[in-house]
Amino acid sequence: MHQRRDEELLADHLAGRPDAFEILVSRYVDALFGFFKRFVGNAAVAEDLVQETFLQVHLSAGAFDPQRRFKPWLFTVAANKARDYMRARGRRPMQSLDASPDSREPGAAAAERIEDAGPASVEQVEADETAARVRGVIASLPEHLGLILVLGHFQRLPYAEIAEILEIPVGTVKSRLHSAVNQFAAAWLEQEREAKA
């Protein structure tokens, strides 16, 4: 049995098939969570934005152009949610004091993980610190560069899909991604210099 295409599942959802939307959610929930977490810097907010995105997709499903592909449309909705959230917060990254940077569970504090983790805890703490630094550098970039860096580098979306999501030409995607990588690298090196000073 072949796996149904996203667009077919959305059509099934509109036709009233009860499990079609659940299948779409299961296909993309992890990718959306990763996208939001890297862009906004907070797992709890990322979960909220995932839910808002799927709610928007559900509400707007009837307006979906069947000539388009579902995934770029989904990420267009997600990118708009991310931008709206960051604009409302003034581009400040948010970090929960209770949750580890990579935890999807709000109560999983770093201290609890260190007690439970044993020998691997030092590596995990270092990985968490690095992930938090990455999110901080992304948050310091101009919004259009941070967004394209997350879509292109971390989500590994093809240029054509990014162009469709952001409604810009492929050439602009390439130049912005190049600029984003350069600015990210410069900001990362500057952080390292400040940490050693």
Chunked into runs of 10 residues, the chain (197 residues) has average pLDDT values of 84 92 96 93 94 95 90 95 88 45 42 48 78 85 91 91 93 94 91 80
Burial code (b: 16+ CB inside 10 Å, e: under 16) for 166-177 equals: beeeeeebeebb
Q: In whole angstroms, give the CA distance from residue 11 to residue 66.
A: 9
Neighbour count for residue 146 (Cβ, 10 Å): 25
Computed from CA positions of residues 192, 44, 74, 92, in that sequence, does the dihedral angle turn out positive or negative?
Answer: negative
So what's the pLDDT on residue 118?
A: 52
**pTM, two decimal places:** 0.74
So what's the pLDDT on residue 2?
A: 62
Distance separating the N- and C-terminal Cα atoms of the chain = 60
So what's the pLDDT on residue 120?
A: 57
Residue ranges and CATH numbers for the domains of the chain are 6-94+112-196 (1.10.1740.10)
So what's the pLDDT on residue 128?
A: 78
Q: In whole angstroms, give the CA distance from residue 49 to residue 179.
A: 27
